[in-house]
Each structure stands twice: as C-alpha cells, then as structure tokens.
Structure 1
Amino acid sequence: MWLMVVSVPLLPAIIMVSTRYRVKVAALCHRALAWALRTLRGRVCVRSTHAFVFSKCTHGKVDSVLETFDLYADTHPSFSIGPQIGEALDEVVRRVRPSRVLELGMHCGYSSVRLLRLLPPAGRLITVELDPLIADLGEEIILVAGFKHSQFQVLTSSSAEAIPTLRSFLEPDRGTSEGFNLVLMDHDPSLYLPDLLALEREELLSPSGCSVLLIYRNQRPEDLTEILGHIRAKPDCYCITSELQFMMEIFYQKESTRVDR
C-alpha cells in the first residue's frame, strides 16, 4: 500500500521516461535478440559443417579438407568464406608471403586451413575466436588437415581481450620488433575499426608492411564507412590496395619505412 502512495507522485515522471526511452530499449532488445539468433544459427551451422568435413574428408590431406568444405557449401548454408573469397585470399598470401598471420574470426576453420597451407615452414598463424565451441571445432579441423600445434595458436576470447596479449606470441625469444605481416578480419564488422586501432596502439602491425584484409559477407563496402574514414585520414600509413565484391585489402606501413608501391 505504501508503495502505491509513494509511486503516485512519480507517475508522470515514470511515464515520461518510459516514453522517451522505449524506442531505445526496444532497439536494444531487438539487437540482443538478433545477436542471440545469429549465435544460435552460427553454432548450428558450424556443428553441421564440422561433422560433414570431419566424416567425409581424407584426414591429413589439406586439399581434401578444403574440397570437402566446398562440397558442403554447394548445398548447405555455411560460414566458411568459400572458394571465391578463398582464391582471392590465396592470391594475397602468395604475394605478401607472410610469416606471421593474425586471423580475427575463425568460424569453421576453413580460412585458417587455407592460410596455413601457404605459410613458410617457420610461419605461424594466430587465430582469435570468441565462441569456445566454434574455437574447439575449428581447431580440430586444422589438426585434421595435418597441421601441428607448433604452426598455429587458437585464442578463445574477444578480439579486444586478445590483442593486448599478442606480442607474447610473436617469437619473443628472437627479440624481434616485427609484428604481423597479414591480418584477416572476418568477425563482427563493427569491431574492425576498434581492433585496427588496438593493433596500431600495441604496435602489432609490421612497420615494414602489413596487409589487412576486411571481409564483408553481407555488408557492402560503404558499410565500412568508419574504418575507411580512418584509413583515408592517414595516407602516410595506409592505402587501399584492392577492392573486391566481398573483400578489401588495405596496406599499412610505418611512415619512416614507407616506400612507393
């Protein structure tokens, strides 16, 4: 009873606040629901893809693993980048010839396998995946393809948590200041700019040159307005190397070491 008495004078204020913020609250609830549905669909999709590839491919044969991925994607929805993006990725890797690669967003492990098969014997891939289940299944696919733990590292965390720790994985015993030669961003596009800024801040982009690949599956290039604005605002460090229907390559080089490309 006393609660009702106290609440009556506050009723106009409560109504005003609820009216003012209901749109924001509704939008927040909508985003949360959409995220939950994407997560659920993603887990189901990755489980199905993993089960198919694991059972149908020839274990220890990297080409068989990739072919089985592509076979699955021909008739089922899949989060793997697929052969079209995969071939474009291969072209970049062959041109850049990286020895240290960072992958943000592991999905089914498809792109991880494509990257690893083109790295030099001493090359190393670090892949970051937020979802523990997806990270475990992706890691198993990498091992099924025949790669060893000495060639890659899977970090199960958000990219924001992982990036400040990455320096310790870059050959600390050699005392090198070099960072990553290639970064593949295939996670949440809203995190592309914050993560690029974090990589700059932690000095994890190789000062002598680093190619950063931005995958936009359902997004258009114009949806990457924020990160493109940052890149174009720093012409002494960045340039856009190529723009495809599904992938953009940007090149970073520290100003003091920059040469014309």
Structure 2
Amino acid sequence: MWLITVTVPLLPAIILVSSRFRVKVATLCHRALIWALRLVRRRVCVRSTHGFVFTNCTHGKADSVLETFDLYAETHPMLSIGPQIGEVLDEVVRRVCPLRVLELGMHCGYSSVRLLRLLPPAGKLITVELDPITADLGEEIILVAGFKHSQFQVLTCSSAEAIPTLSSVLESNQWTSDGISLVLMDHDPQQYLPDLLALEREELLCPSGCSVLLIKRNHTADDLRGIQDHIRERADCYCIKTDHQFMMEIFYQTQSVSVNNDSKA
C-alpha cells in the first residue's frame, strides 16, 4: 500500500520522462540485448571449439592443434581467424621476426598458437581477452600446444584497461625497453583507433619499427575509416604496408634507420 501511495504522485513525472526518453531507452535496451546475445553465442562457440580441439589434437604439438582448429572450421562456425588469414599472418611474423608481440582478442587461442610457434626462443606474447571464460579456455589451448607460461601472458580485461599497464608488464618480465614490434588487433573494430592511440601515448610501439595488423573480416569500410584517416594525418611515422582482403598491415616507425643507397653510374 505504501508503495502505491508513494508512486501515484510521481506518475506524471514518470510518464513525462519515459515519453521523452523512450527512444533512447529503447535503443539502449536493444544494444544491451544484442551484446548479451553475442556474448552467449560467443561462449557457446568458444566452448564447442575448445572441446573439439582439446579432444582431437595431439597434445604438445602446435601444428596438430592448428590442424584440428582448421578441421573443426570446415563444418562449424569459428571465431578464430582461420587458415586463410593465418597463412598471411605467418608471412608477416616471419618477415618482422618480432621479439615482443601484443595480441588484442584471443578467440580460444588459435592465433596465439600461430604466433608463438614462429617466435624466437627469447620471444614473448601478451594476449588480451575481455571474456574470462574465453581467456581460460584459450590459455589451456596454448598450454596443450606445448608452450609454457614463461613464453606468454594472458591479461583478462579490456584492451583499454590492459594497454596502460603494459609498461609494468614488460618491466616485470625483464624484457628490453625497445617496445612491442608486432601488434595483432582482432577484437572490437571500434577499439582499433582508440587502442592504437593509447599504444602511441604509452610509447609502447617499437620506435625503430612496429607492424600493426588489423583483422577486418566481416567489417565495413566505415570500421577502418578513422584509423585510415589517422595514418594519413601521421604520414611521418605511419604507412600501410600491405592491405589484404581480410587483414591490413600498418607500419609504425619514428626512429630513422640509416640505409646506404649506392647510386649506379
């Protein structure tokens, strides 16, 4: 009874507010529903992929783990980049020969395993995954592939939260202060530009050269427009190295590298 007594005098204000903001409220509810559905689908997909790979691969063999991922992808939807993008990723890693790699978006560990198997003995991988279930299952897949905790670190948080802490992570692992030489962005495309700016601000990109790989599967042209505009504005230190159908490679460099160009007579 007391609730009715309190609520009745407020009804005009409640109706006014709800009518004025009903579009915004409906939009927010719609976005929240889409996010929740995506999270549920994502976790179902990750669990299913993990279960198949864990059961059918040869433990301790990175190539077997990747082959099992690819086998699963032939008949099931998968969040990971897959063999087509994976082969392009391999080419970049072999060319760049990075020592420190940052991965934003773990997706059950497929790209993590592809990266780790091509890193030198002193190479290290930091992988960032927002969803704790995906992070745990992805970490298990990395260990199943035969890699040790000393070779990688999983940060379970958003990229926006992780990037400001990376300097201390690098120092705690006694890595050199040259920065990160390869970044793989395969998370929310809306975060690509903010995260690139944050990496610049924190001075985490290797000044002598860092390749930033943007996965653009299922993305529209608008998703990358902001980051392309930034590259044009900062042409002094950025260029587009390669641009494939599903992946763009941006090269960042602020330290001039002397190159001897002998002119021919």
TM-score by length of 1: 0.91
SS in 1 for 2:74: helix
Q: Does 1:44 align with 2:44?
A: yes
Q: CA distance change for structure 1 residues 34 and 154 in 2, over 3 Å: closer, same or farther?
A: same
Counterpart-to-counterpart distance in 2, 1:79 and 1:113? 15
Gaps of 5+ in 2: 260-265
Deviations along 1:3-52, whole A, 9 cap, x unmatched?
467447xx3x6555433322222111111111111111111100000000
Q: What is aligned with 1:64?
A: 64
The one-letter code of the counterpart of 1:233 is E
Q: What is aligned with 1:155?
A: 155
Q: Is the 8 A contact 2:190 2:223 kept in 1?
A: no
Q: What is aligned with 2:18?
A: 18
Deviations along 1:216-254, whole A, 9 cap, x unmatched?
221133321222222221111111111111111111111
Question: How many residues were matched structurally?
Answer: 256
Q: What is aligned with 1:55?
A: 55
The one-letter code of the counterpart of 1:154 is V
The one-letter code of the counterpart of 2:197 is L
Q: CA distance change for structure 1 residues 173 and 35 in 2, over 3 Å: closer, same or farther?
A: closer
Deviation at 1:257, TM superposition (A): 2.5
Q: Is the 8 A contact 2:45 2:78 kept in 1?
A: yes
Q: CA distance change for structure 1 residues 233 and 143 in 2, over 3 Å: closer, same or farther?
A: same
Q: What is aligned with 2:178?
A: 178
Counterpart-to-counterpart distance in 2, 1:202 and 1:95? 26
- Deviation larger for 245-254 or 121-130: 245-254
Counterpart-to-counterpart distance in 1, 2:154 and 2:174? 21
Q: What is aligned with 1:35?
A: 35
Counterpart-to-counterpart distance in 1, 2:197 and 2:165? 15
Deviations along 1:39-82, whole A, 9 cap, x unmatched?
11111100000000000000111111000000000000111110
The one-letter code of the counterpart of 1:131 is D
Counterpart-to-counterpart distance in 2, 1:232 and 1:68? 41
- Deviation larger for 213-222 or 230-239: 213-222
Deviations along 1:176-209, whole A, 9 cap, x unmatched?
4311000001111111111111111110000111
Deviations along 1:92-138, whole A, 9 cap, x unmatched?
11111101000001011000000000100100000011111111110
SS in 1 for 2:184: strand
Counterpart-to-counterpart distance in 2, 1:69 and 1:219? 23
1:85-234 equivalence runs, <5 A: 85-171=85-171, 176-234=176-234
RMSD (Å) for aligned C-alpha atoms: 2.0
Gaps of 5+ in 1: none
- Deviation larger for 235-244 or 108-117: 235-244
Q: CA distance change for structure 1 residues 248 and 6 in 2, over 3 Å: closer, same or farther?
A: same
SS in 2 for 1:153: strand
The one-letter code of the counterpart of 1:74 is E
SS in 2 for 1:108: helix
Of all paired residues, the percent bearing the same amino acid is 75
Deviation at 1:91, TM superposition (A): 0.8
TM-score by length of 2: 0.90
Q: Is the 8 A contact 2:208 2:257 kept in 1?
A: yes
Q: CA distance change for structure 1 residues 5 and 127 in 2, over 3 Å: closer, same or farther?
A: closer
Q: CA distance change for structure 1 residues 153 and 174 in 2, over 3 Å: closer, same or farther?
A: closer
Deviation at 1:83, TM superposition (A): 0.2
SS in 1 for 2:235: coil
Q: CA distance change for structure 1 residues 61 and 5 in 2, over 3 Å: closer, same or farther?
A: closer
Counterpart-to-counterpart distance in 2, 1:217 and 1:121? 31
Counterpart-to-counterpart distance in 2, 1:175 and 1:154? 16
Counterpart-to-counterpart distance in 2, 1:173 and 1:62? 24
Q: Is the 8 A contact 2:60 2:145 kept in 1?
A: yes
The one-letter code of the counterpart of 1:120 is P
Q: What is aligned with 2:263?
A: none
Counterpart-to-counterpart distance in 1, 2:100 and 2:120? 10
